[in-house]
Amino acid sequence: MPESPATGAPSAREFGRREQLAIWLLLVSAFVVILNETIMGVALPRLMDDLNITAAAGQWLTTAFLLTMSVVIPITGMLIQRMTTRTLFLTAMSLFTLGTLIAAIAPGFGVLLLGRVVQASGTAIMMPLLMTTVVTLVPPTQRGRLMGRIAIVISVAPALGPTLSGLILQVLDWRWLFIFVLPVAVIALLLGAFRLPNVGVQRIARIDLWSVLLSVFAFGGVVYGLSLVGDAANGHAFIPPWTALTAGIVALVLFVLRQLVLQRADRALLDLRTFRSRPFTLSTVLFSFSSMALFGALILLPIYVQNVLGESTLVTGLLLLPGGLLMGLLGPFVGRLVDLRGARFVLVPGTIITACALWSMGLLTDTTSIWQVLASHLLLSVGLAGTFTPLFSASLGSLPPRLASHGSAMISTVQQVAGAAGTALFVTVMTLVSTAAAGSAEAVDVHSLAAGTQVAFVVGAVIGTIGIGFACFVKDSPVIDVVGSEA
């Protein structure tokens, strides 16, 4: 039986037009802001020419975005508790709109980088806000369907980023990447200002400044270190990656210890009692594997298609489009299956299909047909569609309402760190194997690069195969109050 309104959980009767409007507006806005996370990858060669920058400098347009996300997201759990839905939404969309405007009119690289950082600040708030609102408002019997729509946002939007970028850059200047998005962001901002209702219950939650500072160095250091691994393999790292990783890990340990103390008084920035829920813990581990596969494939496939198969930027973008659309079409269907049969019924086949897709990508060579690449990507899209939705449902659905904001912030943080790890792992393995096959970095050719991508996808397939074992133990469970006594 659903909890009463006093506890912050919805009943089926309360999930009416007002609540549906809030969720749909958040869904559309989240899709727009997440789309920008991967839009710069295909645009990098054009930006290098137009702005007269190196590849190492250009990568900061993506790295700085990820860094900002990883720093801001841990704070959102506390912000969601302190601020109303409308206020936090307007803050997020205002930052994103301002950042988009700055990027659209940027006269040079420095201003463009600033625009990306401001964009990321708004993006970081949107996804945890959406997930927390769904868990707070939607009855458990309808939650899988809504989680399917969230899965569309978190998986399809990043996949469509390169496609949109390739289509725009084929005929227009790089500034149009932001000009096209700007009016959509403005409309969403205005709709939110006039139509978005305040949902949920706010409470006074003090922010611990030491936790904020530690989270900046912890998550920022880890993501930055992982981002440097790929640069170091190419010989372009500003500092040794292990320096940033070590600093990040030390700060992360201190952050965890402080949260364990603060959560006794319900003052933690990220309440780690979410991990007392076994479904949440297993789902978070699996979510990290899936994010590594998604972002690793998104970074490696364009490199393979353009540099090994010799296809254009437009063909590369169009190649990723069917998979993104397929994930979008499957999201609601998978959500209904989760509602009817439970998370594990969908999750186990989803992880198996994901692993099979990665193994098939491990067979790609320099003579592979573009249609085989498309088939492998479509298979991966089916697998991830059957993975993300049940993971959202099983993880956040197992938490009491007062931990929902912490759980959604934790999952979003894991996505960024795992995405950076997947990108670094795939690129580093590809670079090291390609260099070894060619004899030197300067001698890397199509054949050696194909060998590098093969091995990188095989490593991803091994990770995906391990994930199948975790999926077998994830199951739906009733919400358990994990806030009680300290362990």
Using alpha carbons, list the distances in angstroms from residue 30 to 114, 156, 460.
21, 11, 28
Q: Which of 245, 301, 238, 39 minimizes the C-alpha distance to 157?
A: 39
For 65-92, give the secondary structure using H, E and C.
HHHHHHHHHHHHHHHHHHCCHHHHHHHH
d(CA 258, CA 191): 40
Task: Phi first, then psi: give them for residue 136, nearest 5 degrees.
Answer: -75, -40
Contact 319, 380 (CB under 8 A): no
Q: Which of 262, 237, 381, 265 minimizes the C-alpha distance to 323?
A: 381
Task: Phi first, then psi: give them for residue 472, nearest 5 degrees.
Answer: -65, -20
Contact 34, 123 (CB under 8 A): yes
What global pTM score does this model have?
A: 0.75
Contact 177, 185 (CB under 8 A): no
What number of CA atoms fall less than 13 Å from residue 242's CA on the CB side?
A: 1
Note the pLDDT of residue 155: 66
**Range 7-471 classified under CATH 1.20.1250.20:** yes
Contact 482, 399 (CB under 8 A): yes
Q: What is the mean pLDDT of each run of 10 residues along the chain (487 residues)?
A: 39 61 84 80 75 72 79 81 84 94 92 93 86 76 73 72 79 89 90 77 69 86 76 66 89 93 83 88 89 80 85 79 82 84 90 94 91 93 88 83 81 81 82 84 83 91 91 73 47
Note the pLDDT of residue 356: 95
Using alpha carbons, list the distances in angstroms from residue 210 to 81, 256, 261.
19, 12, 12
DSSP state of 442: G
Q: Apex CA 35: angle with CA 59 and CA 30, to 5°?
A: 130
Domains of the chain: which residue ranges? 7-471
d(CA 144, CA 443): 51
3-state DSSP assignment of residue 321: helix
Q: Apex CA 310: angle with CA 306 and CA 315, to 5°?
A: 60
For 137-162, give the secondary structure using H, E and C.
HCCHHHHHHHHHHHHHHHHHHHHHHH
Note the pLDDT of residue 232: 67
Q: Is the dihedral of CA 292, 430, 328, 94 positive or negative?
A: positive
Using alpha carbons, list the distances in angstroms from residue 466 to 148, 275, 317, 459.
24, 20, 30, 11
Note the pLDDT of residue 251: 93
Contact 100, 115 (CB under 8 A): yes
